[in-house]
């Protein structure tokens, strides 16, 4: 029997391989849909300490910017 997860936002139960499951530092976050994930992360972003949030957000904005630039270049060729 495959593992089952419960969406922490709406409580829906779903089997392994469906939904989105993120485990880090011994904490498992399970979401049955992207909408539930978005709801949760919006709250998490609001509640993270500003300093930490700023550092990570800037890092990721920069990473995505570089990735987009790479993609744009490869499309031209």
Chain residues that interact with Zn ion, rule: CB under 5 A = 7, 9-10, 12, 32, 36
As a whole number of angstroms, the distance between CA 57 and CA 72 comes to: 22
In the bound complex, what is the minimum distance in angstroms from residue 53's beta carbon to Zn ion? 24
Q: Which is nearer to Zn ion, 39 or 53 (CB)?
A: 39
Q: Which is nearer to Zn ion, 5 or 7 (CB)?
A: 7
Tokens 């049955």, residue located = 32
In the bound complex, what is the minimum distance in angstroms from residue 41's beta carbon to Zn ion? 13
As a whole number of angstroms, the distance between CA 33 and CA 68 comes to: 26
As a whole number of angstroms, the distance between CA 24 and CA 42 comes to: 18
The number of angstroms, rounded, from the C-alpha of 38 to the middle of its chain's C-alpha atoms is 8
Q: Which is nearer to Zn ion, 4 or 66 (CB)?
A: 4
In the bound complex, what is the minimum distance in angstroms from residue 4's beta carbon to Zn ion? 14
């Amino acid at each position: 029997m495959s593992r089952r997860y419960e969406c922490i936002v709406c409580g829906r139960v779903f089997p392994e391989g469906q939904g989105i499951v993120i485990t880090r530092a011994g904490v498992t976050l399970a979401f049955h849909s992207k909408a539930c994930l978005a709801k949760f992360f919006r709250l998490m972003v609001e509640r993270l300490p500003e300093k930490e949030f700023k550092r990570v957000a800037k890092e990721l904005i920069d990473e995505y910017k570089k990735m987009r630039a790479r993609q744009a270049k490869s499309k031209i060729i």
